[in-house]
Structure 1
Amino acid sequence: MKLLEVCVDSLASALAAKQGGADRLEFCSALAVGGLTPYADLLRQIKAELDLPVRCLMRPRAGDFLYTRDELELLCRQIETLRSAGADGFVIGALTPEGTLDLPAMRTLLDACGGAPVTLHRCIDVSRDLCATYRAAAALGIDTVLTSGGAGSCRKGISQLAALLSLRDELDGPEVLIGAGVNAAVIDELRVALPGARAFHASCKTLLESGMTFRREGVPMGLPGLDEWHIQQTDADAVRAAKAAVMR
């Protein structure tokens, strides 16, 4: 089945994704650092406004995917809270120090998900062997694997994406959800290079100018290079173009 999933971190972005024709949302906070666990109250707002399925990204902090027992306990509590708030599914992942999928940690998280649909997130892209990680995810019953093909962008990961798509078909395994640098033009390109590709993940974001007229410069609140005078938000037209490319 052809699918366009849009990752969002605000109600405005969720509404724009819906307007543009997204099939599903990945909901997170802090997209600027790759996404963190989102807020239950904001999920309730989103679910009250639209009827798209929403999978929540479960990531307690930025950085690697090697989690302590305390972090796993936190993730399980957050999953339970978000399930109660209306989450339709979850996006999870944990690795061992050696770069393999952490099966005990994954089983703990899957138990907390309570049978809800689950995506393995891009921890696969920093794992030692992407095909082995995919096989492990399939054995766990995960239905989707989000990946760039182990590269900084999906366009650079085409050969590995081809291997994963072949494995999907061989195993009748999890859907390969292609992400990282996805837009309408990239979808067109990849569907030629990878005829089996049918599911794509994009933010379709644009930068909105802040409404602040007074601006004190040189006082960053977060990561170097980011400022407080531009807000990232999903663009409905970019979603619409991406969806058209998926459906061609």
Structure 2
Amino acid sequence: MLEVIVQNPRDAYLAEKYGANRMEVVSAISEGGLTPSYGAIKEIVHASKLPAMMMIRPHSFSFVYDEAARIIMERDIELAKEVGVQGIVYGGITAGGDIDQVLLEKVIEWKGDLDLTFHRALEATKDIEASYQVLRTYGKDIKQLLTSGGTASALDSLPRLKRWIQDSEKQPDSFRILVGSGVKPENITTFQATLNHTDYHVGSAAREANDFSKDILKEKIDILQQQINKG
């Protein structure tokens, strides 16, 4: 399963046309990806039949959210249900650097039947292994964990990612690992040599010149899918 970041209807159209399996819909990718506007998500869902995962992230200051931000997130999740996305992408931590379990449980309640991906807020926690174990206790409610394994590039966390993937395979009601950050057509064979995995997330690496302002390219999607489908 290859998930590609999209920001607009053209991205969504090209992602589907060139063979991506799913799209993560964001705005403000220069800020790391924020919640898309109502108009954007409606038009993106209209432009592509790919399953859409909508980012729920009201600001880029941190992954710590106060009450005002939480209210916005609840409203945005209501919007996600209205426009017909497959799921939401969320991650929140406490000021002390732990998984914000109170907010996570609220998000699980708010999302209803939507799928939930917990994103790379995990990498911002003070103890990634302890935080990973906390998230595992919510395995029935979290569909996927988007992670690099704790490093800027997932390529530098292959042993940990392999162990986490094995954990998810041993526990049927666990979330699946969605490997992201640093995944490129140029290195997907290296990932697969260690992980032999099926679920990857890419952003600029799927585009011309690795630039979010440029189009998604068929040849890049083809290379990624050829290697992923060997897994």
TM-score normalized with structure 1 length: 0.84
Q: Is the 2:80–2:88 contact (alpha carbons within 8 Å) kept by the matching residues of 1?
A: no
Give 5+ residue unaligned stretches, structure 1.
Answer: 210-229
Distance in 2 separating the partners of 1:119 and 1:17:
19
> Which aligned runs of 4 or more in structure 1 are off by greater than 3 angstroms?
none
Q: Which residue of 1 aligns with 2:208?
A: 206
Map residues 1-248 of structure 1 onto 2, 5 A cutoff.
3-140=1-138, 141-172=141-172, 173-195=174-196, 197-203=197-203, 204-206=206-208, 231-248=213-230
Distance in 2 separating the partners of 1:208 and 1:161:
24
Cα RMSD over matched residues?
Answer: 1.9
Distance in 1 separating the partners of 2:104 and 2:132:
13
Count the aligned residue pairs.
225
Between the aligned residues of both structures, percent identity stands at: 25
Residue 238 (structure 1) shift: 1.5
User: What SS class does the counterpart of residue 184 from structure 1 fall into?
Assistant: coil
Letter aligned with residue 243 of structure 1: Q
Q: Is the 1:153–1:180 contact (alpha carbons within 8 Å) kept by the matching residues of 2?
A: yes
Q: Is the 1:134–1:145 contact (alpha carbons within 8 Å) kept by the matching residues of 2?
A: no
Residue 104 (structure 1) shift: 0.5
Which structure has the bigger radius of gyration? 1
TM-score normalized with structure 2 length: 0.90
- Residues 187-214 of structure 1, C-alpha deviation per residue, up to 9 Å, x if partnerless? 211110123x2210001123599xxxxx
- Higher relative contact order at CA 8 Å, sep ≥6: structure 1 or structure 2? 1
